[in-house]
Amino acid sequence: MSESIQAATPCLPPHAQLIQMGTGGAVANVVHIAAKLGLADKLADGPKSAVELAGPSALHAPSLHRLMRTMASLGLLTEGERLRFSLTKLGEALKSDAPGSARSTLLMTGSSWVGSGFANLLHSLETGRTGFEKAHGVPFFDYLAQHPEDASVFSEAMVGLHGGEPPAVAAAYDFSMFQTVVDVGGASGNMLGAILGRYPEPRGLLFDQPHVVIDAEKTLKANGVTGRVTVEAGDFFLSVPSGGDAYILSHILHDWTDDQCLTILGHCRRAVKPDGRLLIVEMVLPPGDAPHPGKILDMVMLALIGGQERTETEYASLLDKAGFRLSRVVATQSPVSVVEAVLA
């Protein structure tokens, strides 16, 4: 998973920058509750006041008005005559059917189950274990397997958070050389669909857990590649399908510890053809003080999931232990890079 943060305005004095960072949660809560209430959908047909919306929604009209007024100050709504609000172009993106899956992403990022991990961030810093597991008693992905509705929200949120990455990866890396591309842990097929949609030569195999791949048909159909993809359910900690020319691990390794990654990579090493490629799609952290969204994402991994973001040097070391050799890192027009590896 991924998460971005808006940096404090640099022209502010240091104390004001810190306060701006610390109060960002209020804005996050406003947009989350707007998404949860489906306010953009309710305003899709035209302007309405809080009084008009409150009754059918069982809400307190004066309080709803205050929320909508705040949304207007954020550029999501605009206030017209008789205290009636309408959607702006930005607010249109909050509708449930709007491109980009912003609503689903906000439903996840502002949810109590995600928030509980960060509420226990100190526990993570003290123990190295996730705050999420302290709050819920089970690891993140075990929780999702037990809560299918939250799992669907998570899958849709990943499209929102990473939606620009698949076309950027397809444009930056030449997949035309491969006959079969295996997307390990490929979820709903967003990455594989973008790649096959751009390159007519290869076929694809989408591999993920049963409760995840159920959403794949819709995505693959939207990309027009349903007939070129085989969907297979399974667990990459046990095995991965063999015989592929290229194995993609997109936002997989950052979810796990080094030891767990070595298990996944070991299965990929046994499965890939001798002259094949392993392609790791991740936010490769730059060295030093350079800002990068992956450095904030690393805190998400610490608090929620238990994995980590890595530098190029760390990926090279990890791959070497698994019997691969890092051959190059291909940048894309997005925050992720393609870490290409071959058999050592």
What are the catalytic residues?
Answer: 254
* Length in residues, the chain: 344
Q: Which residue type sits at 58?
A: A
What six digits make up the tokens of 246?
A: 């290229």
> In 3-state terms, what secondary structure has residue 85?
strand
Exposure b/e, 290-313, CB count within 10 A at least 16 = b: eeebbebbbbbbbbbbbbbbbebe
CB 165 within 8 A of CB 281: yes
Q: What is the DSSP letter of 149?
A: H
Residue in this structure with the two tokens 């359910």, named with its chain if needed: 233
Nearest to residue 283, comparing CAs of 2, 34, 33? Answer: 2
Which of 178, 236, 164 has its CA nearest to residue 206?
A: 236
Exposure class string for 314-343: b at 16+ Cβ within 10 A, else e = ebbebbeebebebeeebebebbbbbbbbbe
Element (H, E) at 313: helix 312-321
